[in-house]
Amino acid sequence: MSHRAGACILGCAGPILTGEERRFFAEANPLGFILFARNVRDPAQLAELTRALRAAVGRNAPILIDQEGGRVQRLTPPHWRPWAPAADQIAAVGPQHAARSMYLRSRLIARELALMGIDVNCAPLADLARAETHAVLKNRCYGTDPRPVAAIARAVAEGLLDGGVLPVLKHIPGHGRATVDSHLALPRVKTPLSTLESTDFAAFQPLADLPLGMTAHVVYDALDPDAPATVSPEAIAHIRRGIGFAGFLMSDDISMEALAGTLEERCRASLRAGCDAVLHCNGKLAEMEVVAGACGTLSEETLARAARALARRCPPEPVETGALVAELDQLLGKRGDV
């Protein structure tokens, strides 16, 4: 690496890296990359894209994806296994087998990702589902009670780690009470701090040791009535000290409509608040140039936090994939894929 990595994680426009993107990434040197369905055609193409992204920055940069299952699944049939929404799988196996079934699912997902050169998955979620939880999130949640949700999220994280893929804990400090879609509008949670600490925040505390985390674009009146968590020093301080999260903390997608201000202002506010890096997802080169310029490079502190997180990337534990599939199918009481 010729110069310190930038405090941003960026997308790219399509399934093949353009010359213009290669030149930009070589100069901007983002910490890592994130992929979406627009970047995925087939296994050979995807493996070449992850190789090209790392070659552009000249190092083993982390490559992220959202492969939760259900609606949030970037690798899809016919080349990859289909997955039901997490809530549906958990309901199908029952509480006794929920954590194990989600471990198996995550271990299988990790194998598919690792074979493509993808080493970070934006999961697990520890958001608590509620009656009022917006539909964009609800069936992605693992339950309504912090203790079993944390246990299932831990199982998801362990499945990914055992498969050589780093987990990203989201959406800290909890998105479940949001009644609007933060992609389109700013959610506000008016719940008292004592209630949040015993419910939503409590689901994240047992997971505070995970290597990577992602913020929520949600205003919590009890923490900071004037700004969503991603750009709130008070909210980030609570994530660090109240919840105890010590890992590398990235923003949710900085281009989402929940945030106000220009792209540059959003990036600067996020980093000022205490996020370690800004996530920008749409792959638009003009926007990425703004983001890279606004974010600058990682500080000594954030560089050290990134190094600790990335040091947890390990080769996958040896496993018989067929045995994992068979056990999961048995728990689900069915044959074939989930």
pLDDT tens digits, residue range 112-167?
999 999 999 999 999 999 999 999 999 999 999 999 999 999 999 999 999 999 99
Average pLDDT over residues 314-336: 89
- Determine which one of 97, 145, 162, 183 is catalytic: 183
Strand, coil or helix: what is 280? strand
* pLDDT tens by residue, 134-147: 999 999 999 999 99
Q: Is residue 166, in this structure, part of any structural domain at all? A: yes
- Residue 149: which domain range? 6-331
- Determine which one of 119, 200, 252, 253 is catalytic: 252
Token pair 């100069």 is at which residue? Answer: 27
pTM to 2 decimal places: 0.95
Q: Is residue 336, in this structure, part of any structural domain at all? A: no
Q: Among this protein's residues, is 183 annotated catalytic?
A: yes
CA distance 27 to 253: 22
Q: Is residue 194, in this structure, part of any structural domain at all? A: yes
Query: Residue 177 sits in a domain of what CATH number?
Result: 3.20.20.300
Specify the DSSP class assigned to residue 318: P
The tally of domains found in the chain comes to 1
Q: Is residue 337, in this structure, part of any structural domain at all? A: no
Q: Give me 286's structure tokens.
A: 């003009």
Q: Among this protein's residues, is 66 annotated catalytic?
A: no
Q: Is residue 113, in this structure, part of any structural domain at all? A: yes
CA 89 to each of CA 86, 97, 129, 152, 181: distance values in angstroms, whole numbers, following the listed order: 5, 10, 15, 12, 23
Report strand pairing: 72-73 vs 67-69: antiparallel
Q: Is residue 338, in this structure, part of any structural domain at all? A: no
Token pair 């949710």 is at which residue? Answer: 252
